[in-house]
Structure 1
Amino acid sequence: MSETNQLFGQALVKSLVGERGHIRIARALPDISVELASRKHEHMPYSIYQLVKHMHYWQQFMLEHLEGRKPQLPANVMESWPEDTGPQDEAAWEADIQAFLDGVDRAVTIAETVQLDDSLPYFPGETKAGLLRNIASHNSYHLGEIVLLRRFYGAWPPPGGGFPA
């Protein structure tokens, strides 16, 4: 792996986990209760739960491409948004958060180990680096919405503080 590839991979890892640009994703989610995750704000079209499920949907879609598979593209982007505003129970919510964070870890491992300028067999015109950057930016965008909702609800900062380390 070239030094340029390694340096860019390190930058991607920082973007994927939320280092420097904003609070780490792993610190912003785990303390959210089912009640808070399910709450809908009058000025937002979705709940925290729906945001996390949407983030996980597209992260999983892109990870499958990065791992050489060809996931089924949804017929409509709305398929990536759950209709339910909240999880069934605490165990389901904890599993949703863990599945999402496990996906972040998979993306980090990929960023640290692959040749980033390699193309993807089922995603013409895209590279592994490009798709990893897409995961990072999509997650970052929606994490900002989650933080904003938490602020609206008086549920910010999380334990340990709400600013990047």
Structure 2
Amino acid sequence: MSKFELLVREMEHAYDQRDWYAPLKPALEGLSAQQASWRPEGEGVNTIWETANHLLYYKRQLLHYLKDEEMSDCVQTNNETFRVDFPHDEEAWQRTVSKLEDVQQELLSIVGTKHDEDFDTLLPDGEPMGNYISSLIRHDSFHTGQIIQLRKLQGSWPSKR
């Protein structure tokens, strides 16, 4: 198995194939905009929707890097990636989920064409391609855990599986 075949496998498991941990796609399935916008009372945490936007931003950034394109909507700070313009707007929430799916599939398609000699190719931020992709997978998994914890707190995810 090549390095990139392994990365594709890990990307698939982090997004939609159950493994030792729940993947992102099922963690977002069945949520309404209201549930995605919910925040525990008195808690300084990001909502599920804010977290989904954050994940989408960094997936899109990698996609632009791999396609050697400029991002038209770069942010100045990481906090800006958590922004939600229309909380409780069901169509806007469904667009976010759909965009995550589209970007994920495009990333899988592109990463699947890479060869081991591409692994250490530097991306525009100076990070080797393979390392960046690996970090993004861990990043997605970390935030998926946060999403599931929020769902458990709101009662929309089983407390035990």
TM-score band, normalised by shorter chain: 0.7 to 0.9
> How far off its partner does 1:24 sit?
2.7
What amino acid is aligned across from residue 110 of structure 1 in structure 2? I
Q: Which SS does the other structure have where 1:113 is aligned?
A: coil
Q: Deviations over 1:60-112 (max 9, x none)?
A: 1122112212437532222212155824x211111110101211212222232
Q: Which SS does the other structure have where 1:27 is aligned?
A: helix
Residues in 2 aligned to 1:25 and 1:128: alpha-carbon distance in whole angstroms? 22
Q: Deviations over 1:120-165 (max 9, x none)?
A: 35232x22222221221111111110000000011014xxxx85xx
Please name the residue that 1:122 is paired with. 124
**5+ unaligned residues in a row in structure 1: which ranges?**
none
Match runs of 1:36-115 below 5 Å: 36-41=35-40, 42-71=42-71, 73-82=74-83, 84=85, 86-87=87-88, 89-115=89-115
Please name the residue that 1:35 is paired with. 34
The 1:132–1:30 alpha-carbon spacing in structure 2 relative to 1, beyond 3 Å, is same
The 1:47–1:33 alpha-carbon spacing in structure 2 relative to 1, beyond 3 Å, is same
What's the RMSD between the two structures over aligned residues? 2.4
The 1:44–1:55 alpha-carbon spacing in structure 2 relative to 1, beyond 3 Å, is same
The 1:21–1:130 alpha-carbon spacing in structure 2 relative to 1, beyond 3 Å, is farther
- Whether contact under 8 Å (2:60, 2:103) holds in the other structure is yes
Q: Which SS does the other structure have where 1:123 is aligned?
A: coil
Please name the residue that 2:151 is paired with. 150
Residues in 2 aligned to 1:118 and 1:5: alpha-carbon distance in whole angstroms? 11
| TM-score w.r.t. length of structure 2 | 0.81
**Of 11, 14, 17, which residue of structure 2 is paired with 1:13?**
11
| TM-score w.r.t. length of structure 1 | 0.79
**5+ unaligned residues in a row in structure 2: which ranges?**
none
Residues in 1 aligned to 2:34 and 2:143: alpha-carbon distance in whole angstroms? 19
What amino acid is aligned across from residue 63 of structure 1 in structure 2? L
